[in-house]
Chain A
Amino acid sequence: MQNILVNMTVNGEPISRETAPNRRLLDFLREDLGLTSVKEGCSVGECGACTVILNGKAVTSCLILVGQAIGTEVVTLEGLHGEDELDPLQQAFIDAGAVQCGFCTPGMILAAKALLDENEEPDREQIKRSISGNLCRCTGYEKIIEAIELARDRRLNK
């Protein structure tokens, strides 16, 4: 199997790598780039742990072959915060107590980020819908929803 050249932007940095064409975007990010915040929970696009933002949309990276992502912009949790400052969502997840085991957390934050970037004032139902592809077995979702509401309000300086 001949390698393919993958050019894409990951967390704002241009990337150019050769990799096997049967690699999923998930494997490319985790194994080739070492971005291990992208988690593998089910491998069939059901749990949402591997969620990344691709061209502004939250997607499950286990269902995307790396070749399909050539030329795209990808954001993982590692790319969300600056040197000294957390993204409002990251801070809100801490403050609201929305983190338990932490395995769904990267995907949850990224799903919420894609939502808030598209709709800066979503209501509770829209928030629930936006994370309905991200399963969490610990929190019962309540504190995650509260965290997203908190980040929404902070972004709007409420």
Chain B
Amino acid sequence: MKKNVRNPEQTTATIDTSVRDSKVVTQPPQRKTVEPQEVPAQPQKSETLDRDFSVLGKNVNKKDAYEKVIGKTQFAGDMKRPNMLYGGVFRSKIPAGFIDHLDISKAAAIPGVACVLTYKDIPGLNQTGIIIKDEPILVENKIRRIGDAICLVAAETEELVEEALNAIEIEYDEIEAVLTIDRAAEADSPKIHGETNLHQSKHLFCGDVDAAFEQCDVIVEKTYSSGMKSHMFIEPDAGLAEYVNGILTIYVSTQNPHFDRGEVANMLAISHNKVNVIQAATGGGFGGKLDIGVQCHLGLLCYHTGRPIKMVRKREESTMVSSKRHPMTMHYKTGAKKDGTILAMKIHMTGDTGAYASYGPAVITRAVVHATGPYYVPNVDITAEFYYTNNPMSGAFRGFGVPQISIAHEGQMNALARELGMDPIDLRIKNAHRVGTILPTGQELTESVGFVETLEAAREKMNELFNDETYQPSAPNKKRGLGIGCMWYGIGNTGLPNPAGAFVEVLGDCSVNLLVGCADIGQGSTTVMAQICAEELGLNYEDINVTYAHTMVTPEGGATSASRQTFISGKATQNAAYMAKQTLMEVASDYLKVPAERLIFRERKIWDREDPDTKMTYPMLMMEMRRIGKLALGVGSYNPKTTYLSPKDMSGIPFEVYSYATAIVDLEVNVETYETEVKNVISVHDVGTAVNPQMVEAQIEGGVVMGIGFALFEDVILTRGRIKNLNFSDYIIPAAMDAPKIYPLIVESEGEAGPFGAKGVGEPALIPTIPACADAVENAVGIHFGNLPILYIDIAREMNRKR
């Protein structure tokens, strides 16, 4: 692991508040005074800064690994209950229209069919959606996409479910399907929701781009695009519902149990505490299990039958109806001085959000805020429009639009480097975010900006692996190229509150119950929370038992998305542990006759930092707690310090901290078959503090391979709103033979936000590999590709055109 504890370079400072005035700004970013922020009862920082950790930074075994390797882990599909029913969904086969006639009587009359339900059976709200509730749980009349849910069936066996679904009779009144955003934008196109198909539009600006372009020596202008992608988590959506002591209990493969709870309760018009959502082991999510999947349908069937019921989607159904990555088109104009200083960017992007909003508002906002890339750009004008169509619903997918715009901002940097004849890494370092940089939103970066370090570490590793003499193609029919890509990524939801909580109890034997809302989808948040809790309390990792994502027991955790759980649930965990520790400190202070602030808690011992011989063991302290009748309890929460963004120019503080990364891709193109093969990838990530380096590496490696799939393989094929490639047989994700040698490197940067300075890596892991692949293909064959994925057929077409 590469450790990089650095002294952030401070920019010489004068206070400058004019950065957002409408004049051309050509000076380097200036520091401005930061208003004192509200600080809750905070854990002590002394141990944070010297990084002398006893549990953090250690590669402890993941909490869930043992059960998973012996095959005992229960995914929802593995669960069974006595007297259990099976559920299924009758779905629309057309992309747009109205239900003309629906007859469920034959299906309902089949012996062994418990019920067939329609929207009329919903007692409460028939609307769902994470941000805008525009999706019916069961269609009332209007169909907006292929796969819209119309009826539910519960039956004694899976075969009877199929029989009942086939016995439902429906006639449609089909209307024109809106299949492109160009058609969506036309005045006479059918409207999918309300009066307009414009889902959202955004405008972010600062400085004066037009005047700034006048001062530029070089201008690069290009259009980029990114196709629709499918998550292809290996476990299809699944869940089981039953009543437990009168509480509707739903075990489900999910990334956001607390959201699920509210949606199910609202649908049934019951209070939220009458629904208990327990996350079952979740076989991958990547954003695709953030929306409501089987939860409401299971809840409604269980409510009407009173019996346990299970739903497991077939792969094709799962792919058809879960959200997809937004297809986007991005037009970029970038202007710079001869020395490489970027002065201005003008950007316009459009996206297809499909039939329902899902996370569309988050994707457009995040894409706009990140559109300049991790570079200081003083004059910016960014406009964006997302449209509803009758295509599959686009939503959250690892990176929320940032992977798409990274293709463009990195494509521009590489084009600019070529235009200027500059080294692409030098060009990036010249313009890189640093502590003190002012963003286009007006936010000043005040800490934990390790971008330049990722660039330098990537260059060092690249020079170590490759040199001009040995860097040759492996065969005469191959061409080889190196490419670079970078990214920045704000941790947490964009300019919105998104708190998470934790409860801690230290028991008499020094073991700990930690309760967090945070859903662990395999990335390892449970392990991370345990490490943070143990570090703060001065106990061992093995002392911590974690109960998670169980809505009747654990506090709100928010979504496992936006790379937010280590940062936000982690900080909530640290705060909860610290509250319990405050009681322990008072008691230890009395017992040892040492001021509380001098006490060190570490590895099950407590001592006076000025006199290490004045000490006690943790079991002694817990005995003393019992003697005087005190409990070590803690409640913690954390909400990142952000502001809402201005509707006028999107100014504000969208995120409290940002992660940074640089990737170098080494690939070959076979000039006879036009196939690409990625051979080596260096991926360097500034994660603040690596709580568990092995798990950070695992995130990076998984992201690199998913990034290769994004750039070179994966594309959802649509015909009239229907996905043609629904299964792994024709939606090709990388297999082991496609995986390159990966060099994951970790940069640690200093910051006081987050638990012990930790940020997030889940989504950043994916992003930089994508533009780096595109750059490597360009360097190998000398052709620019702005539309991703770059399939062999694209390379064949362009190379033949060039010949």
Q: Output the nearest chain B residue to A138 by Cβ-Cβ distance.
A: B702
From the candidates B703, B728, B736, name the one contacting A47 in the complex (CB within 8 A). B728
Given contacts A36-B71, A44-B727, A44-B729, contact A137 B315 (CB under 8 A): no
Per-residue contact bits, chain A 108-147, to B (CB 8 Å; 1 contact, 0 not): 0100000000000000000011011111111111111100
Binds B, one of A2-10, A64-72, A74-82: A74-82
Decide if B235 touches A39 in the complex (CB within 8 Å): yes
Known: A77-B69, A137-B233, A140-B739. 12 other contacts (CB 8 A): A39-B77, A44-B727, A77-B71, A78-B71, A80-B70, A97-B62, A100-B524, A105-B69, A128-B737, A136-B234, A141-B735, A142-B742
Q: Does B522 contact A (CB under 8 A)?
A: yes
B486 proximity list for chain A (CB < 8 A) = none
A86 proximity list for chain B (CB < 8 A) = 69-70
Decide if A42 touches B315 in the complex (CB within 8 Å): yes
Decide if B235 touches A141 in the complex (CB within 8 Å): no
From the candidates B70, B281, B315, B703, name the one contacting A81 in the complex (CB within 8 A). B70
Decide if B233 touches A100 in the complex (CB within 8 Å): no
Q: Output the nearest chain B residue to A134 by Cβ-Cβ distance.
A: B736
Most buried by B among A30, A37, A145: A37
Q: How far is the CA of A151 from the CA of B444 in the complex (A)?
A: 49
Q: Does A28 contact B (CB under 8 A)?
A: no
Decide if A102 touches B281 in the complex (CB within 8 Å): yes
Binds A, one of B644-652, B691-699, B751-759: B691-699
Per-residue contact bits, chain B 680-724, to A (CB 8 Å; 1 contact, 0 not): 000000000000001101101111111000000000000000000
A36 proximity list for chain B (CB < 8 A) = 71, 74-75, 77-78
A-side residues, CB < 8 A to B, are: 30, 35-37, 39-44, 46-47, 49, 76-78, 80-81, 86, 90-91, 93-95, 97, 99-106, 109, 128-129, 131-145
B74 proximity list for chain A (CB < 8 A) = 36
Per-residue contact bits, chain B 614-625, to A (CB 8 Å; 1 contact, 0 not): 000000000000
Decide if A99 touches B736 in the complex (CB within 8 Å): no
Q: How far is the CA of A86 from the CA of B61 in the complex (A)?
A: 15
A103 proximity list for chain B (CB < 8 A) = 75, 233-235, 283-284
Chain B's interface size range is 35 or more
B77 proximity list for chain A (CB < 8 A) = 36, 39-40
From the candidates B522, B736, B742, name the one contacting A132 in the complex (CB within 8 A). B736
Q: How far is the CA of A95 from the CA of B694 in the complex (A)?
A: 10
Decide if B698 touches A100 in the complex (CB within 8 Å): yes
Most buried by B among A36, A46, A94, A137: A137
Interface SS majority for chain B: loop
Determine how close the nearest CB of chain A comes to the CB of B457; give it in whole angstroms: 18
Interfacial residues of chain B within 551-570, with CB under 8 A of chain A in the complex:
none
Q: How far is the CA of A36 from the CA of B75 in the complex (A)?
A: 9
Given contacts A109-B69, A128-B737, contact A137 B727 (CB under 8 A): no
Q: Does B66 contact A (CB under 8 A)?
A: yes
Decide if B522 touches A43 in the complex (CB within 8 Å): no
Q: How far is the CA of A106 from the CA of B728 in the complex (A)?
A: 19
B739 proximity list for chain A (CB < 8 A) = 128, 140-142, 145
Q: How far is the CA of A151 from the CA of B674 in the complex (A)?
A: 37
A109 proximity list for chain B (CB < 8 A) = 69
Most buried by A among B66, B71, B705: B71
Most buried by A among B61, B234, B694: B234
Q: How far is the CA of A134 from the CA of B733 in the complex (A)?
A: 11
Decide if A97 touches B235 in the complex (CB within 8 Å): no
From the candidates B72, B315, B524, B737, name the one contacting A43 in the complex (CB within 8 A). B315
